[in-house]
C-alpha cells in the first residue's frame, strides 16, 4: 500500500479563488498534482515539509487505489494547506492505525506532458526475460575411462546441458540424478545427486566403463514458478578393452639371430578401433626358463609409446634375440635348425591410457615365448 495525505490548495485568480484538493505521497514530487478541475502547467503548488518530493494523486501506480493505512511508523491523516503566492503552511498530523481510512482517488481532467513522459518511461522498462523451457539434455563429448588415467586425446569428463532449444539462458531449478550406472559416473560434486539454480549445465566424471551400450541414464527435473519438466539422457562410458593382432608375426634374420614383429590394434569394449591415438605401455611378469640352462637371454626393459604406426589405433611389438658369445642356448635365424626350440616364457601385459609402465587400463595379458629362432605371443 502507498500511504497518502490530502491537502487543500487555494489558487488565487483575478476573478475568484478556487479550492483544489489533491493527495501527496511521501517520497514523490508534490508539484505534479491533479484536482477536481484543470490546473495549468504554470500553477505552482506550495510544498509543506511533509509534501516535499511527493506526487499528486493523479499517478495511478498501475491503477492501485491509494490508502491511508497505519504502520509501525504511523499513518498520515487528512489535512489542509492554503496556498497563497506559492507559499503554503504545513498543517499535517500523524494518527494511529485505528484511524486509517481509504482515500478515493481524484480524477484528472487531462494528462499533462510530465505524466505522459512518466507513462512512456514505465512502458519502456525492460521486461522480464522470457521463460526458456529445456527441451532435451545434450552432452558435449563422448566420455571415456582409462582406469583413472588422463589420456591426452580423450575426455574423462563431460558436460551435460539442459538445452532450451533457442538462444538465451534457461533459468530455474535443475535437479540432477543418476538413475542407472551410478558406478560409472559422478557429478561434479562427487555424488549421484546435485541441484543447481539458474545454471543448466553440469559436469560429469567417468568412474568405470560401460558394460553395454546406453547403460548410464541421467535425469534432470526442471522447475520455475508453476512450470516443470523432466528430461532423461542415456549414454555410454567408452574404454579401451583389447589389443588385437592385425598383422604378424613377421620373422626376419638379425645379427645371427632373429626379430619377430606383430602389429596390434587397440579397440574399445564394443570392438571398435580407438578413434584417436592413445598411449600404451607394456610390462612383464616373471620369466620361466624352458631349458635346463639359460644364459644371457636378456630382453629390453618394458616401455611405453603412442599408437599411430602404422594406423591411428595401432602399434608394433617386436621380439628379438641376436646371436652372441656365451649365450646358451645360441640364437639362430628364423627357419634354421632349432629355431622352434623353446627357451623361456612369461606373461606380458598391455595397458592403454598412459606411457608409464603399469599404469592405465589393462587391454591384453598373454604368454610370450622366446624360441631360439622366433618370438611368439
Give the mean pLDDT of 365-377: 98
What's the CATH number where 193 sits?
2.60.40
Query: Is-contact 92 77, C-beta < 8 A?
Result: yes
Residue 131 lies in a domain: no
Residue 192 lies in a domain: yes
Summarised one tens digit per residue, pLDDT across range 49-103 is 443 333 333 333 333 333 333 333 333 223 322 233 333 333 333 333 333 333 3
Question: Is the link from the previous residue into 222 a cis peptide, with omega within 30 of 0?
Answer: no
Same domain membership, residue 176 and residue 117: no
Indicate the pLDDT class of residue 110, thresholds 50, 70 and 90.
Answer: low
Instruction: Please give the grid coordinates belonging to residue 224.
Output: 520455475
Same domain membership, residue 260 and residue 353: yes
* Domain final residue, candidates 238, 261, 282: 238
Give the pLDDT score at 317.
98
Give the mean pLDDT of 291-310: 95
Domain count, the chain: 3
Summarised one tens digit per residue, pLDDT across range 248-269 is 999 999 999 999 999 999 999 9
Summarised one tens digit per residue, pLDDT across range 192-210 is 999 999 999 999 999 999 9
Indicate the pLDDT class of residue 132, thresholds 50, 70 and 90.
Answer: confident
3-state helix, strand, coil in the chain (%, to 5): 5, 40, 55
Indicate the pLDDT class of residue 105, thresholds 50, 70 and 90.
Answer: very low
Summarised one tens digit per residue, pLDDT across range 166-177 is 776 678 999 999
Residue 159 lies in a domain: yes
Q: Which domain holds residue 157?
A: 136-238
Same domain membership, residue 178 and residue 107: no
Give the pLDDT score at 83.
30
Rounded CA gap, 33 and 112, in Å? 10
Give the mean pLDDT of 323-349: 97
Amino acid at each position: 500500500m502507498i500511504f497518502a495525505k490530502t491537502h487543500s490548495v487555494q489558487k488565487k485568480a483575478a476573478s475568484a479563488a478556487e479550492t483544489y484538493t489533491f493527495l501527496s505521497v511521501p517520497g514523490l514530487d508534490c508539484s505534479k498534482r491533479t484536482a477536481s478541475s484543470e490546473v495549468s502547467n504554470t500553477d505552482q503548488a506550495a510544498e509543506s515539509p511533509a509534501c516535499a518530493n511527493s506526487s499528486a494523486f493523479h499517478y495511478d501506480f498501475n491503477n492501485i487505489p491509494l490508502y491511508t493505512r497505519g504502520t509501525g511508523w504511523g499513518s498520515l491523516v487528512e489535512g489542509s494547506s492554503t496556498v497563497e503566492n506559492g507559499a503554503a503552511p504545513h498543517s499535517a498530523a500523524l494518527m494511529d492505525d485505528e484511524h486509517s481510512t481509504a482515500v478515493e482517488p481524484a480524477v484528472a481532467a487531462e494528462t499533462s506532458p510530465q505524466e505522459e513522459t512518466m507513462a512512456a518511461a514505465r512502458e519502456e522498462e525492460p521486461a522480464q526475460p522470457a521463460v526458456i523451457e529445456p527441451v532435451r539434455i545434450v552432452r558435449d563429448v563422448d566420455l571415456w575411462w582409462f582406469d583413472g588415467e588422463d589420456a591426452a586425446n580423450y575426455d574423462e569428463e563431460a558436460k551435460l546441458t539442459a538445452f532450451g532449444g533457442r538462444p538465451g539462458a534457461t533459468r530455474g531449478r535443475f535437479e540432477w540424478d543418476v538413475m542407472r550406472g551410478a558406478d560409472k559416473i559422478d557429478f561434479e560434486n562427487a555424488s549421484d545427486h546435485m541441484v543447481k539454480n539458474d545454471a543448466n549445465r553440469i559436469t560429469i566424471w567417468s568412474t568405470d566403463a560401460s558394460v553395454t551400450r546406453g547403460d548410464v541414464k541421467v535425469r534432470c527435473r526442471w522447475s520455475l514458478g508453476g512450470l516443470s519438466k523432466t528430461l532423461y539422457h542415456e549414454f555410454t562410458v567408452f574404454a579401451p578393452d583389447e589389443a588385437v593382432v592385425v598383422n604378424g608375426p613377421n620373422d626376419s634374420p638379425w645379427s645371427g639371430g632373429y626379430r619377430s614383429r606383430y602389429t596390434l590394434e587397440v579397440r574399445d569394449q564394443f570392438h571398435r578401433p580407438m578413434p584417436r591415438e592413445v598411449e600404451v605401455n607394456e610390462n612383464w611378469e616373471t620369466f620361466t626358463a624352458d631349458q635346463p640352462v639359460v644364459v644371457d637371454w636378456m630382453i629390453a626393459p618394458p616401455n611405453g609409446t603412442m599408437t599411430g604406426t602404422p594406423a591411428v589405433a595401432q602399434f608394433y611389438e617386436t621380439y628379438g634375440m641376436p646371436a652372441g658369445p656365451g649365450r646358451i642356448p645360441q640364437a639362430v635365424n628364423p627357419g634354421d635348425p632349432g629355431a622352434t626350440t623353446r627357451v623361456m616364457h612369461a606373461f606380458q601385459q598391455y595397458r592403454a591410457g598412459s606411457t608409464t609402465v603399469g599404469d592405465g587400463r589393462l587391454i591384453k595379458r598373454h604368454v610370450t615365448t622366446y624360441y631360439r629362432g622366433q618370438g611368439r605371443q
